[in-house]
């Protein structure tokens, strides 16, 4: 009986040993089935591909190549050729970090229901590439090309295929703007030219109207810079019909801006804004179209406002005195029917000083007060109130030896300004009061 029990125990041990040996053998075989690679397992030249399709989740895309890439669902869709080329790039030289041979269970690699399936046609050959699960341990993607193997790739193609149709449109582009001229028509009317030979008190002025009026270079360039950041991404239609153009207000745009580059290229932008009735509860909508493109883009009302602030009054100088103050050699002030003549010169140390009746004066506050005078709004209406203060600036500029400035009372908050005898603007009365106080301080001091 004891011998029988011993035999049973020995048989049990043998079974365990055999089972363990088989397990070790299977593990060894499994390990041998996964091998380090580095080989290129897929190489499809991008220029040989004539059809590209992929499925990801509920989204299906298909493109074919004729004279260029086109979307199968609508050949009028303007496909961005470079973006399609980017989608093909991963398959030109797809390299495996690891290869799993003799695969029987694709499910464990996420390849029964892949994240994305890509189909490429090159000549008579169609290749299907399945992108499976992502190995967090290796930070690599499982890939199946239908050859009985599974590949682990470090360069994850799924990153490139995380796209929507809107990502593949060939949006219009705004070039870097360096215009020789531009025109504005519609809600504003303006024609301007770039020239370094214009007539202005400010040497930095290079944009002038057709009438030769100077414009503020900083304001013009700020306006031009806004086009560089114009968000041409949110399209409302990519193949606008005449009916759609009318619906978006672009059959008769509110404003048209045409810019001619120094190289000769012309850029034309058309803007429209649809303002609903106040009690409708609807939002204001704005749109833009570039160079007569069939694509119409939605534009925020704020962007619309900034881009369409391009009349002369938007882009002209707001400062009343545009001449640099270091070109001023003398200043005559008329205040309360008295005239004061300030002269600029040098003291014995060669330092610049201002004098009144031979007495040196600290001129900083008066200079600052003159430079602070700026337009609150522009007007050509002749002043009706009394003269508050008048100034004549003598300048070292031979082309513009003097500049006269007269400030008249308009009301409690504004004064009317005349420059060289012409009414140009209403200015804040507080700045005029500051100017008067600066003169009185020098005169009485």
Which pLDDT score, from 0 to 100, does residue 400 have? Answer: 94
d(CA 274, CA 249): 7
Question: φ and ψ at 190, to 5 degrees?
Answer: -160, 140
Which pLDDT score, from 0 to 100, does residue 354 have? Answer: 93
Say which residues have a Cβ less than 8 Å from residue 25's Cβ, sequence separation at least 6.
none
Which pLDDT score, from 0 to 100, does residue 263 have? Answer: 92
Which pLDDT score, from 0 to 100, does residue 11 have? Answer: 44
Which pLDDT score, from 0 to 100, does residue 65 have? Answer: 96
Report mean pLDDT in 10-residue bins for the chain, 445 residues: 45 41 39 67 96 94 95 96 96 94 94 97 96 90 96 92 92 94 96 96 96 97 93 94 97 97 95 92 95 96 95 97 95 95 88 91 94 97 96 95 97 96 97 96 88
Buried b (16+ CB within 10 A) or exposed e, 52-88: bbbbbeeeebebebeeebbbeeeeebbbeeeebeebb
Which pLDDT score, from 0 to 100, does residue 33 have? Answer: 61
Q: How far is the CA of 340 from the CAs of 332, 345, 347, in angstroms? A: 6, 16, 21
Sign of the alpha-carbon torsion through 234, 240, 244, 249: positive
Q: State the maximum Cα–Cα separation within the chain, in Å, rounded to a whole number.
A: 141
Say which residues have a Cβ less than 8 Å from residue 395's Cβ, sequence separation at least 6.
201, 323, 327, 328, 329, 401, 402, 403
> Which of 148, 120, 121, 145 is closest to 131 using CA atoms?
145
Count of C-beta atoms within a 10 Å radius of residue 49 = 23
Q: Both tokens of residue 119?
A: 């189909």
Say which residues have a Cβ less than 8 Å from residue 12's Cβ, sequence separation at least 6.
none
- HSE-CB at 195 with a 13 A cutoff on CA atoms is 12
Which pLDDT score, from 0 to 100, does residue 35 have? Answer: 67
Stated as kind and residue range, the H or E segment containing 306 is: helix 301-307
Q: Are 233 and 355 in contact (CB under 8 A)?
A: no
Q: Which region, left, alpha or beta, applies to residue 244 given φ > 0 means left and ψ of -120 to 50 means alpha?
A: alpha
d(CA 396, CA 330): 9
Say which residues have a Cβ less than 8 Å from residue 421's Cβ, sequence separation at least 6.
404
């Amino acid at each position: 009986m004891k011998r029988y029990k011993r035999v049973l125990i020995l048989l049990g041990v043998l079974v365990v040993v055999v089972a363990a040996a088989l397990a070790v053998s299977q593990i060894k075989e499994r390990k041998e089935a996964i091998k380090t690679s580095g080989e290129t397992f897929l190489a499809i030249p991008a220029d040989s591909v004539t059809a590209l399709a992929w499925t990801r989740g509920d989204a299906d895309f298909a493109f074919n190549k004729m004279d260029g890439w086109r979307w199968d669902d609508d050949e009028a869709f303007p496909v961005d050729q470079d973006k399609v080329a980017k989608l093909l790039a991963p398959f030109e030289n797809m390299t495996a970090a690891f290869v799993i041979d003799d695969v029987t269970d694709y499910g464990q690699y996420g390849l029964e229901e892949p994240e994305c399936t890509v189909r490429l046609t090159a000549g008579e050959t169609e290749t299907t590439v399945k992108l499976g699960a992502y190995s967090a341990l290796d930070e690599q993607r499982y890939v199946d090309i239908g050859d009985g193997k599974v590949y682990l790739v470090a360069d994850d193609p799924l990153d490139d295929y995380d796209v929507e149709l809107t990502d593949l449109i060939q949006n219009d582009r705004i070039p870097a703007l360096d215009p020789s001229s531009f025109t504005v028509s519609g809600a504003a009317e303006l024609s301007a030219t770039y020239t370094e030979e214009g007539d202005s008190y400010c040497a930095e002025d290079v944009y002038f109207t057709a009438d030769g009026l100077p414009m503020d270079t900083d304001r013009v360039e700020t306006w031009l810079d806004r086009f560089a950041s114009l968000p041409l991404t949110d399209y409302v239609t990519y193949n606008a019909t005449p009916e759609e153009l009318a619906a978006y207000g672009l059959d008769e745009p509110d404003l048209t801006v045409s810019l001619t580059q120094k190289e000769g290229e012309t850029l034309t932008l058309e803007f429209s804004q649809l303002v609903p009735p106040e009690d409708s509860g609807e939002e204001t909508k704005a749109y833009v179209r570039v160079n007569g493109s069939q694509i119409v883009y939605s534009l925020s009302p704020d962007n619309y406002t900034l881009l369409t602030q391009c009349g002369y009054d938007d882009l002209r100088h707001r400062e009343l005195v545009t001449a640099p103050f270091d070109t001023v050699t003398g200043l005559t002030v008329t205040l309360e029917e008295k005239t004061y003549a300030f002269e600029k010169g040098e003291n014995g140390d060669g330092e610049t000083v201002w004098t009144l009746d031979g007495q040196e004066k600290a001129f900083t506050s008066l200079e600052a007060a003159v430079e602070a005078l700026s337009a609150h709004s522009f007007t050509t209406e002749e002043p009706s109130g009394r003269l508050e203060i008048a100034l004549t600036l003598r300048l070292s500029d031979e082309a513009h030896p003097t500049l006269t400035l007269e400030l008249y009372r308009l009301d409690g908050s504004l004064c009317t300004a005349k420059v060289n005898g012409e009414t140009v603007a209403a200015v804040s009365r507080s700045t005029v009061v500051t100017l008067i106080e600066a003169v009185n301080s020098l005169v009485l001091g």
